[in-house]
Structure formats: C-alpha cells, structure tokens
Chain A
Amino acid sequence: MRIGLLSISILLTGFLAACTPTVKVEAPSEPININLNVKIQHEIYIKVDKELDNILNSSSGLF
C-alpha cells in the first residue's frame, strides 16, 4: 500500500515534469519604434487650422 502510493507519486512527478510547457520569450532582434510624430503633426495642423480661421475672419481684412 505504501509502496503503491510512493510509486504513484513518483510517476505523477515524472509525468508533470514531462508535461511542463516550454514558453520562450525572445526579444525582437530589431528595436520597436513607436512613431508619435503622426499625432504631434496632427495637433499642429489643428492648431494652424484654428489660427488660420482667426486670420480669415473679417477682423484682419485680408480675406
């Protein structure tokens, strides 16, 4: 009975060890570039757009 339990636990340990999944995490070989210029550029255009609206409104008289 004791021997049986022992052998089962040994078997189980071996079984679990064999089933341990291998997950490999590898760093990408190239650096990750996140381009924030797009957003910044977009904000600048919105800003210029508003400033142009101010110039275009009759107060300046240029349009």
Chain B
Amino acid sequence: MNLRKAITMSLLAATLSLPVAAMNLNEAMSALGQAKASGQVGEMANGYLGIVKNEGNAAVITQLINDARKKEYQNLAKKNGITLNDVEVMAGQKAQEKTPAGQYINVGGKWQKK
C-alpha cells in the first residue's frame, strides 16, 4: 500500500513537472510576450533573448526561442553570403529598437529598462 502510494505520488509529480520540461517552441512563443512584459527576459545586443529574472519558465523560453532564432539567422547568413555574426548584430539592434518602453534591453552587458 505504501509502495503503491509512493509510485502514485512520483507519477503525479512527474506529470505535474512535465509541462515545464516538455515546453515546445510554440508554447515558448506564446509565453514570450508575458515573459518579456513581466521582466523575466529581455533583448540582448547579440540578437538573442537573455534572462533578466530567472523565474517561471524564463530559462526554457529563452533556450527554445534562441535556438529557433539562431536557425533563422543561419539561414539568412547562408542565403546572403554574410557571416552569422553580421546577422546577429543587425537583429540585436532591431530587436532592441523594437522593444517597447518598460521592457528590458541589455546594453554593454547591463540590463536596463527601456
């Protein structure tokens, strides 16, 4: 009986923790706006998302979004015969410009509210 309870509990725990671990890109994209608005993540100058406050799904969202961004950047670089770094810098500038006031951007290695 105790064993069964333990198994049930661990199964329940596994099920509950599953949504965070198994977040997919679509879910990350849906959650991105809220994560930005709540100041968990912000735009870095290198074209990628950075973690401002590591809470909630900030780390998972950042990882998934950045992987997908990198693929897009690599495509653009390859298609146009320029370096990945060139694309990253251009994207970083645009993303920071596009960031609405009140959200975080990383300038010179420091987070600041725009």
Contacts and interface: CB of A to CB of B under 8 A. Distances in A.
Interface residues of A, number: 14
Nearest to A44: B80
Contacts of A51: 76
Interface in A36-63: 44-45, 47-49, 51-53, 55-56, 60-63
B90 A52 contact: yes
A44 B81 CA distance: 9
Interface size class for chain B?
20 to 34
B45 interface: no
Contacts, number: 44
B31 to A, nearest CB: 10
Contact of B69 (A44, A48, A62): A62
Interface of A is mostly: helix
A45 B91 CA distance: 12
Interface of B: 26, 29-30, 32, 43, 65, 68-69, 72, 76, 80-82, 86-87, 90-91, 94-95, 98
16 contacts: A45-B82, A45-B90, A48-B76, A48-B80, A48-B87, A49-B90, A52-B87, A52-B94, A53-B94, A56-B98, A61-B32, A62-B32, A62-B69, A62-B72, A63-B32, A63-B95
